[in-house]
Structure formats: structure tokens, C-alpha cells
């Protein structure tokens, strides 16, 4: 699920990947990596400069996937979740 937040202060930080889920029975087969790359390309094609997302710090599998794709920690928190960003 994607989001565009018009009210976000910094116009470069308005694009969010809100939900990204791969069924646990299908994880570890490359579907998440392929889907994430398609999502990143979608954002690029639609003028995004950055993509932001958040996930729990205990979700080490997701954090690893996002970091391999180039996302980095912003130092911000979204409730109890770590905020990551990918600069396009």
C-alpha cells in the first residue's frame, strides 16, 4: 500500500510505502526483493525523490530486505516503528 502525504512538511518526504507484506509461506523465495524493486521503480516513474517507510525494530527480516535495497535509518520513530528512507 502506497501513500502520498500532501501535508508532510518536506515535499521530498511525502511518498510512503505504508504496507508491504509477503505471506510467511512464500518468504525467502525472492518475491519480496522483486516486488520491492518494482515498487521503487514505480515511485521513480512517478516523480518521487525519496521513499519512506517504517517497521518494528524487531522485524529483522524486513529491515534486512529494506537495507539491502538501499533504505537507511532516518533516526526518526513512527510510534514504535523505525523510519527508513531511500533517496532516489
Classify 30 in phi/psi space as left (phi over 0), alpha (psi -120 to 50) or beta: left
Instruction: Give CA angle at 79 (46, 20), nearest 5°.
Output: 40
Calculate mean pLDDT across residues 69-78: 95
Domain that holds residue 52: 2-87
Q: Give residue 58's pLDDT.
A: 96
| Counted domains in the chain | 1
Per-residue DSSP letter, 79: T
Assign residue 72 the CATH number of its domain. Answer: 3.40.630.30
Q: Residue 45: pLDDT band by 50, 70, 90 thresholds?
A: very high
Amino acid at each position: 500500500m502506497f501513500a502520498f502525504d500532501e501535508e508532510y512538511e518536506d515535499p521530498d518526504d511525502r511518498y510512503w510505502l505504508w504496507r508491504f507484506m509477503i505471506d510467511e509461506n512464500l518468504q525467502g523465495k525472492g518475491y519480496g526483493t522483486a516486488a520491492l524493486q518494482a515498487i521503487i521503480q514505480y515511485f521513480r516513474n512517478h516523480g518521487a525523490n525519496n521513499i519512506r517507510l517504517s517497521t518494528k525494530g524487531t522485524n529483522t527480516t524486513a529491515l534486512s530486505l529494506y537495507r539491502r535495497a538501499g533504505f537507511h535509518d532516518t533516526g526518526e520513530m513512527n510510534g514504535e516503528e523505525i523510519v527508513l528512507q531511500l533517496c532516489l
